[in-house]
Amino acid sequence: QVQPVESGGGSVQAGGSLRLSCAGYRYTSNIYCMGWFRQAPGKKREGIAAILSDGTANYADSVKDRFTISQDNAKNTLYLQMNSLKTEDTAMYYCAAGCDNLYLKDADFEYWGQGTQVTVSS
């Protein structure tokens, strides 16, 4: 059973960096894609990055050029490197598995972690 588990969240100052990790997944015949989503208070859940097993990735405009999604397939671990953090990046971040494309749609992901909180202060 696939059960993603996020870690690495915390509180940082604006302009700082944070690296999130996600374990508990593996690519299978029906899991070709991993993704990171976030949800801030009062806002809809936003897909921010996704990656295929071959490393092809896609990013939301809001994080493009600041965040990097990567993976270590040998360790079955997904990462989200977040640089130049802004206060608007404050949100609960979720790791998800099960997509077969890079469209960043919630419905394309079958397995979800419980989330890890990222708080960016001025």
Per-residue pLDDT tens digits for 75-109: 889 999 999 999 999 999 999 998 778 889 999 89
Say if residue 29's pLDDT is above 90.
no
Say if residue 30's pLDDT is above 80.
no
Cβ-based neighbour number of residue 81 at 10 Å: 14
Say if residue 6's pLDDT is above 90.
yes
Confidence tier at 2 by pLDDT (50, 70, 90): confident
Q: What tens digit of pLDDT does each residue of 40-64 get?
A: 999 999 999 999 988 999 999 999 9
Burial of residue 97, with CB atoms counted within 10 A of its CB: 0-12 exposed, 13-18 middle, 19 or more buried = buried
